[in-house]
Every structure is written in C-alpha cells, then in structure tokens.
C-alpha cells in the first residue's frame, strides 16, 4: 500500500463535502432504523427525511427567548459543525490527508473538545432552563468519556510510535490495531457516541428536559446543531478507521474506496448502537467511565507499551 | 509576512479579549472571553513550530475553562450570572499592580541583554520534549504530578460534605454504600 501523504491545498475543501456525505448517509440510515423499529415501511421519504428536515429548518424562522445571550448561543451553535470539520482535517481519505499534521491525534482531540464549550454556550445562551440543564449535562458527560477517549488515543500513538495519523496508518501495514488494541477500539467507539451526544449519551438533548440544548433553538441554529452532531459522529467514525482499521488498506479496491467503505461500516455500527440502546443517565455513566473504562483503557495502554518496548 | 500578520492578530486579539473579561457583565461571557484570550496566546506557540505544545495548550484551556465556567458561575457574585455584574474589585490597587507589572516586564524585554541562540533546534521538537520530560526532568515532573494529584484528592476530601461513616454507617460495614445518587456499576 502506498503511504498516506499530505494532499494539495484544495483537498481541504473536499473534507466538508466528504464528511457531509458520510453524515447524511448516517442520518438517513438512522431514519430507516427508526422506521423499522416503529413498523413503518421504508420509503424514499424516510430515506430523504434528513434532507427534507434540512429544507424545513432553513426556511423556519429563528426565535429567541427574552434576554437570551445571542452572542454566546450563536458562537456555540456555529462551533459544533466547525469543530467536526476541523477535527476531520487530519483524517486520511485513501492515501491523501488534507492536513497531515505531525500532531494529528492531539489536533483531533483538541477540536473534538471544542464541542464541550460549544454545547455549553449553546445551552446557556438561550436563557432557558432546559438548555442550561442540557449544557451542564454535556460537561458531566465530557468529564466521564474524555479520559478513556484520551487513553485510547494515547494507546494508538504508543503502538505507532507517532502522533502523525499517516504514521499510524503505516504502522498497521501488517496487523490492524483493532486486533491487539480491542479495548481501546471499544472505548473509542463509546466515546464517539458520547462526543456527538448521540444514542445512549443523548441526555444533553434528552426528551426529559424538552430537548435540552436543542429546546430553544430553531431554524438555522437548530440545523447547525443537528448537522454538527452527525458531522461529529461521522468524523469520529472516519478517525476510527484510520486509527484502528488500517486506514485505506485492503485488497483489490482502491484505497479511497476502502476508506469510504470502512468509515460507512463503522458509522453504520454506531448508528445501529445509537438506535438499539436506551439513554444512559449521566450520574450512572460517570461511575462507569471512571471505575470501569479508565482502568481498562489504562491496562490496554500498559499492554501496548510493554509490547512496543519488548 | 504571514507569520507577522498572524502574530499581531493574535497579540491584539489576546489583549482585546483579555480586556473584555473585565468589561462584560456576564460571568459566562467573561469565562469565554478569557478562553479566547488563552487560545490567542497559544497560537504563537504554533508559529514557533511547537505544534504539540500549542495544540495541547488549546486543548487543555478549552477543557479547563469549561469546568472553570461552572465554578465561576457557582461561586462568584450573583449566582445565575445573568444579572449585571462586574469583574473589577479594588480598582486602584489592582490598577497599580497591573501597571507596575507591565512596566517591569516591558522594561525587562527592552533592557535585558538577551543571549544569542546556541546550537540549532532539534529535528523533532515533540520527541525532544518527550525525551526531556521522561529523561533529565523526570524526577521534577513526577514530583509535580504527584503533588497536583494529592492536592486534587485532598481538596475533594476536604470539600465533600459526606465521609465514609455517612456512606458505610458507624461500623463501616454497611453495604451497599448509602449514597444520595446511586452509581452506574451496581455498587
């Protein structure tokens, strides 16, 4: 397999398009799963539901509560999709990465943590108790998933001996990291759902708080939050492929196609998990994160470190 | 040229958002103005080629300031933070300290006889940093790490209203623990 290289400057423009396509596919698949769970027939309207929802939100009027902090709310809303696209800059598609930074893994982590601030601002700024509760819930969630997530990333970097994502892909030439880092892979998938406040980790936008962060957002604001959530999930799925599933390596097909296929498969798995699991309360997940996931991911990092040093 | 532009934008941005911390009337805005100031201050690290340190500072500052926002709103001044408020206290004293610090540091920049660079920067600065932290400076870093960790644990122990006798009863034999919020691992 040809090694991953730094792409031309214009490839940066491809990132939002590819990520958007992946996210749209994921959103459509989620609608299909929902329809099947409800016993409805899967029609073209179900498949196109994310697109029609986008159109509806684009023409919907924005409303705002009295004395809402619009600056913070809008900043937060815009930052969610922006963070997802920035995080995806370091993900290699085939053997081209839009931005093959020497510290790509840390960059991905930093950009995905922007969601913490963004969601809190989006919740706080609406001057609504539901948004406020949702924003605080996401911070609690962040404190629970972030350390296992970081240890999973550190494990990968230790295994590859580099923070550069292209080196990580190259290091999996013989053996994919998922084979000897299964715990890190599982922790990464869990945190992928958690960082995009999806599935069991959707208490920040939970129905019990009338939509939480989403409660008072309408029109374009709501669209950006919902799209940003799918973009984050897609970015995490694509990153999982580069970090654990050998990137674009595979027989017969070209590398870019393997990347797309694997990313779609991981995203499909995440969406399936999202629709098959019940919402997990934050006060419960905190203990799971700190008492179960952190020790497990630390052990995984230790095993990988010992293997690398031997 | 581009580097100079980025540096000056970041410098002006860091000062402007730093000023904003004391001008806005909401604790939430003050917190995020401070975060913006930190991010502006971290970007010049990237210009110096210290990509790991630069990105790490941005990462840590975001996490830190989001947690900080919660504490600032919880503990400082008006509880909800939505009412008009001021970040300024002891106007004259702090003004004197601020001006004095600026003058001392500014004079230092101009008056100190800075040494010339000896040697060249290493090929991979991230690797060199790791080697320094894990090699010659390991003892210092370990002591600092343990000190910080001990501080966190003791602060939580001191601040927490419930101790083990509340959780496990007077003879410490009560199982499962009597917690106001049950955890997620079934204890």
DSSP structure class, residue A310: -
Phi, psi of A197 (to 5 degrees): 35, 55
B184 vs A283: CB contact, 8 Å cut-off?
yes
The predicted structure's pLDDT at residue B112: 92
Confidence of residue B83 (pLDDT cuts 50, 70, 90): low
pLDDT along chain A (310 residues), means of 10: 76 91 94 90 88 92 85 94 95 87 93 94 91 92 94 94 91 90 95 91 90 90 94 96 89 89 95 91 87 95 93
Measure the N-to-C terminal CA separation of chain B; round to a whole number of Å. Answer: 61
Q: At what angle do helices A219-244 and A49-59 cross, to 10 degrees?
A: 140
Give the pairing of strands A92-93 and A5-6. unpaired
Distance between CA atoms of A191 and A189, rounded to whole angstroms?
5
A284 vs B52: CB contact, 8 Å cut-off?
no
* CB < 8 Å to B156, chain A: none
A287 vs B185: CB contact, 8 Å cut-off?
yes
A121 vs B52: CB contact, 8 Å cut-off?
no
Distance between CA atoms of A99 and A97, rounded to whole angstroms?
5
More confident site: B43 or A11: B43
The predicted structure's pLDDT at residue A298: 96
Q: Which domain holds residue A170?
A: 5-309
Facing A120 at nearest CB: one of B66, B185, B187: B66
Mutation target vs B (from A106, A122, A291; most B CBs, 10 A cutoff): A106
Chain A residue with minimal CA distance to B183?
A284
B96-135 residue pLDDT tens: 999 999 999 999 999 999 888 888 888 888 888 888 888 8
The predicted structure's pLDDT at residue B84: 64
* CB < 8 Å to A287, chain B: 183-185, 187
For the four alpha carbons of A178, A248, A18 and A121, in that order, the dihedral sign comes to positive
Q: Are A117 and B67 in contact (CB under 8 A)?
A: no
B59 vs A113: CB contact, 8 Å cut-off?
yes
With tokens 């799971």, the residue in question is: A288
The predicted structure's pLDDT at residue B186: 67
Task: Please state the domain count of chain A.
Answer: 1
- The encoded tokens of residue A287 equal 């203990």
Number of helices and strands in chain B (H, E): 7, 0
Chain A residue with minimal CA distance to B57?
A110
Distance between CA atoms of A289 and A84, rounded to whole angstroms?
23
**Maximum distance among all alpha carbons in chain A?**
63
DSSP for A77-112 reads: HHHHHHHHHHHHTTSEETTEES---TTHHHHHHHHH
A59-108 residue pLDDT tens: 998 888 888 888 999 999 999 999 999 999 999 988 888 888 889 999 99
Distances (CA, A) of A285 to A38, A117, A212, A277, A291: 28, 20, 18, 14, 10
- Element of type H or E holding A75: helix A70-88
- Element of type H or E holding A52: helix A49-59
Which of A1, A11, A10 lies closest to A93 in space, CA to CA? A11
Distances (CA, A) of B185 to A152, A283, A288, A290: 21, 11, 6, 10
B55 vs A110: CB contact, 8 Å cut-off?
yes
Q: Where are the domains of chain B?
A: 1-85, 124-180
- Element of type H or E holding A6: strand A5-6
Distance between CA atoms of A85 and A232, rounded to whole angstroms?
8
Distance between CA atoms of B156 and A180, rounded to whole angstroms?
37
Instruction: Supply angle C-alpha A218, A222, A224, rounded to 5.
Output: 145
Confidence of residue B82 (pLDDT cuts 50, 70, 90): low
* CB < 8 Å to B26, chain A: 69
Q: What count of other Cβ atoms lies within 10 Å of the Cβ of residue A90?
A: 26
The four Cα atoms A280, A286, A291, A293 give a dihedral, to 10 degrees, of 60
Interface of A with B (CB under 8 A): 67, 69, 71-72, 75, 101-103, 106-107, 109-110, 113-114, 116-117, 120-121, 124-125, 127, 136, 139, 142-143, 146, 163, 280-281, 283-288, 291-292
């Amino acid at each position: 397999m040809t090694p991953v290289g730094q792409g031309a400057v214009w490839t940066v423009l491809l990132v939002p398009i590819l990520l958007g396509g992946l996210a749209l596919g994921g959103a459509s698949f989620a609608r299909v799963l929902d329809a099947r769970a409800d016993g409805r027939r899967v029609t073209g309207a179900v498949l196109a539901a994310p697109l029609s929802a986008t159109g509806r939100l684009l023409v919907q009027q924005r409303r705002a509560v009295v004395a809402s902090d619009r600056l913070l709310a809008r900043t937060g809303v815009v930052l969610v999709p922006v963070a997802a696209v920035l995080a995806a800059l370091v993900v290699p598609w085939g053997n081209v990465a839009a931005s093959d930074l020497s510290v790509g893994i840390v960059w991905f982590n930093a950009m995905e943590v922007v969601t913490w601030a963004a969601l809190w601002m989006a919740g706080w700024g609406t001057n609504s108790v539901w948004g406020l509760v949702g924003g605080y819930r996401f911070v609690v969630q962040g404190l629970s998933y972030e350390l296992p997530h970081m240890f999973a990333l550190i494990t990968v970097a230790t295994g590859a001996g580099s923070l550069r994502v292209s080196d990580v892909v190259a290091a999996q030439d013989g053996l994919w990291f998922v084979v000897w880092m299964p715990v890190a892979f599982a922790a990464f998938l869990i945190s992928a759902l958690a960082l995009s406040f999806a599935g069991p980790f959707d208490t920040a936008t939970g129905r019990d708080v009338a939509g939480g962060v989403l409660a008072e957002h309408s029109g374009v604001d709501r669209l950006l939050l919902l799209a940003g959530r799918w973009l984050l999930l897609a970015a995490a799925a694509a990153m999982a492929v580069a970090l654990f599933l050998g990137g674009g390596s595979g027989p017969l097909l070209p590398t870019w196609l393997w990347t797309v296929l694997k990313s779609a498969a991981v995203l499909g798995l995440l969406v399936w998990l999202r629709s098959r699991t019940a919402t997990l309360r934050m006060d419960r997940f905190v203990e799971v994160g700190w008492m179960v996931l952190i020790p497990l991911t630390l052990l995984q990092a230790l095993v990988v470190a010992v293997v690398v040093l031997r | 040229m581009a580097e100079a532009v980025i540096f000056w934008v970041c410098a002006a941005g860091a000062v402007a958002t730093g000023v904003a911390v004391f001008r806005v009337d909401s604790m939430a805005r003050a917190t995020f103005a401070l975060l913006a100031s930190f991010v502006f201050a971290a970007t010049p690290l990237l210009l110096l080629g210290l990509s790991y340190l630069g990105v790490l500072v941005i990462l840590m500052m975001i996490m830190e300031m989001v947690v900080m926002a919660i504490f600032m709103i919880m503990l400082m001044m008006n509880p909800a933070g939505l009412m008009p408020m001021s970040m300024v206290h002891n106007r004259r004293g702090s003004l004197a300290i601020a001006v004095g610090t600026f003058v001392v540091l500014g004079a230092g920049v101009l008056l100190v006889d800075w040494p010339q660079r000896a040697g060249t920067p290493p090929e991979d600065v991230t690797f060199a940093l790791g080697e320094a932290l894990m090699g010659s400076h390991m003892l210092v870093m370990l002591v600092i790490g343990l000190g910080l960790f001990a501080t966190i644990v003791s602060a939580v122990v001191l601040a927490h209203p419930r101790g083990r006798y509340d959780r496990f009863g007077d003879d410490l034999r009560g199982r499962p623990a009597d917690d106001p919020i049950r955890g997620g691992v079934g204890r």
